[in-house]
Structure 1
Amino acid sequence: MPSTQPVNLVKDELSSVAVARAHARKAEVAAMLRLAGGLAIIGNKVVVDAELDHLPSAQRLVSAVHTLYGSIPALHTMRNSTRSSDHYLLRVTHAENLARQTGLIDHRGRPISGMPPWIIRGTRDEVEAAWRGAILATGRLSLTGHRQGLTVSSPGPEAALALVGLARRLGVTAQRREDRGRDCIVVRGDDAVTTLLAQIGAPQTSTQWSNRRHHHRLASQTGTGRSPTFESANTRRAAAAAAESTARVQRAMHILGDTAPEHLKEVAALRLANPGLTLTELGGRAQPPMTKDTVAGRIRRLLNLADRTAARAGIPDTGASTFGILPG
């Protein structure tokens, strides 16, 4: 699969996300201009440029800059025989106010290298919007090689470290690294990538990423001598574990009923409605999405609570559901 295909999938989805709050839209714009943009002085006037590799993303940025800030950007298509696809240059002249409001310069007109403080301490939807803008600006997904996972290019370490911190606020582990002398933010684990994508407005790409990674692992293991029988055994064990978990959760809800805490009821409902899904996939379907560890922890707490309740009442606990000894 070409490495650009998942990039187009995620950018297509993210560029169509509807955002109600103006502050969240501004966070997305600020991140896009910070990561894909630059400042110049032309004819004693501040000019803001942003170069993107995805037309719907560029059009989204043009619309947002005009709607939110009243500026009228020009959008140019840049064709280059050395590139596999066109790039798009957004340019705003007379852009001093835009640069100041989006955190590219301070009140004295001096360039700022990091992300705006109001995003760093912003609300959750502003944090999600900033990451959405970062991916639209310079993000790329890759299934193979040393860039496997999600990578976002940054103009410097300050913006990269800021995005690492913002990812942490979303429950996702990201790291700052250097790639060919340029700062990058990388999200490597499958659970982290699927969780982040689901949270920022790309649930379809999140699900497809999870499925593609699963199929890719199977293909690569088979191609390197791993036995298909071994994989089949793993699949059977995973299915058996999911079935056991579902049976225990069902028994737990029978024991606890309405006394179960709301957040544990929610994860129980997810497990019972989707008995064949992995914990990662369950987390992607939660609202808001949860990590695999969060889902596992809540199921574990639900079962422990039910088992303690059953012991006090002198009735079979959740483990009895897996041995067929529950009373009819």
Structure 2
Amino acid sequence: MSYSSDRSLAPKARKKGSVEVALSLTEKVKQELAQVTLPRQSARAAEASAMLRFAGELHVNGDHMSYEFEFDDEVTAKRLAEFLDDLYGVKSSTHIVGPGSTSKRPRVQMRVGEAKELTRRLGLITRSGHPVIGLPPQVVSGSVADAEAAWRGAFLAQGVLTEPGRSSSLEIVCPRQEAALALVGCARRLGIAAKTKETRGADRVVVREGDAIGALLTRMGAHRTRLEWERKRLRSEAHESSNTRLENFDDANQRRSARAAEAAANRVSRAMDILGDDVPEHLADAGYLRVKFRDASLEELGRHADPPMTKDAVAGRIRRLLSMADKRAEELGIPDTHEYAHGPKNDSE
């Protein structure tokens, strides 16, 4: 089919059967970007160049050139078709490809049959007729609006925005490293830090810092989606902060419990020394458990006992053992168990 000027392809919620499926953030960004109005011809040309560069495949057969593209949705393909027609009088054809092994959703394939003059005017081939491997010179050295348009076109072609969180990112899959570096340069002109990386055999441009992602969404024109992304980001950060506080609280409790168990084990060890053979057997059993399993909780000590005891029974026996030892120490005039809570004393003490 060829695109006409009707509005049947306006952005709408995706449906699966009769059930409406919630759009992902990536889909929302693309639908919003596809509606951005560009009064400047250079910006429209820059966006079209980026879409051709990042989603298109140039076929050269002798003196003949053609372009083929594949997009996630019809609104993006329609936008490019209108740009090419309005700017250069170039017609394109499209057809829908059903889900397959590489995609679970239908894709839109687009073709420009006579592309030689188009590629020359867009700067996608050099004067000597070789394909440009990065972005066209007029885009790289163009205005800020052109840099924004290049990013918009690249995102429409190959962009992904993930949900806010520790691994949130805005990524563009690039045809090769030179195109990725050119896009990083455009981001730098917008005051945004972007980096290149290679993942699963593909070059990518990645923006990870939350404020930078928000700023780039605004620069491209996805204002509504940026607000939604920021709301989700704030909720995510609040949730992470709450989890961190709980983890810190749990860690502090565990440290206090460990210190208390260690002190109790030290006191019990001193009690056994003070009482010697006079320790009642049932109290000695509880004391040996406390010394042997120094980091265990009272409940865990009870499970180690034979027969098993409740934690209250273990605690009661240890209390009676310490009380008996402290009374004996007072009678003998020697240090009691409290003085050994933090470890054995040196001989000099």
Report the TM-score range of the alignment, normalised by the length of the smaller protein. Answer: 0.5 to 0.7
Match of 1:213 among 203, 224, 233: 233
Match of 1:195 among 193, 212, 215: 215
Equivalent residue of 1:59, what SS? helix
What is the CA distance between 1:66 and its match in structure 2?
1.1
> In 1, distance between residues paired with 2:165 and 2:104?
19
- Equivalent residue for 1:134? 154
> In 1, distance between residues paired with 2:119 and 2:167?
32
Change in CA separation of 1:91 and 1:199 when aligned onto 2, cut-off 3 Å: same
> In 2, distance between residues paired with 1:228 and 1:192?
29
- Give the TM-score, by structure 2 length: 0.61
Change in CA separation of 1:212 and 1:70 when aligned onto 2, cut-off 3 Å: same
> In 1, distance between residues paired with 2:246 and 2:45?
51
What is the CA distance between 1:210 and its match in structure 2?
1.1
- Equivalent residue for 2:144? 124
- Equivalent residue for 2:26? 7
Change in CA separation of 1:9 and 1:187 when aligned onto 2, cut-off 3 Å: same
Counterpart code for 1:53: D
> In 1, distance between residues paired with 2:35 and 2:74?
12
- Equivalent residue for 2:75? 56
Equivalent residue of 1:227, what SS? helix
> In 1, distance between residues paired with 2:63 and 2:131?
16
What is the CA distance between 1:124 and its match in structure 2?
1.2
> In 1, distance between residues paired with 2:139 and 2:72?
25
What is the CA distance between 1:148 and its match in structure 2?
2.4
Unmatched runs of 5 consecutive residues or more in structure 2: 1-20, 250-349
Equivalent residue of 1:76, what SS? strand
| 1:33-72 mapped onto 2 (5 Å cutoff) | 33-41=52-60, 45-72=64-91
Contact 2:164-2:229 at 8 Å conserved across structures: no
Equivalent residue of 2:135, what SS? coil
> In 1, distance between residues paired with 2:22 and 2:248?
30
Change in CA separation of 1:214 and 1:58 when aligned onto 2, cut-off 3 Å: same
Counterpart code for 1:149: S
Change in CA separation of 1:72 and 1:168 when aligned onto 2, cut-off 3 Å: same
Change in CA separation of 1:146 and 1:34 when aligned onto 2, cut-off 3 Å: farther
Number of residue pairs matched by the alignment = 228
| 1:139-218 mapped onto 2 (5 Å cutoff) | 139-143=159-163, 148-218=168-238
Unmatched runs of 5 consecutive residues or more in structure 1: 231-328
CA RMSD of aligned residues (A): 2.4
> In 1, distance between residues paired with 2:149 and 2:169?
20
Counterpart code for 2:71: L
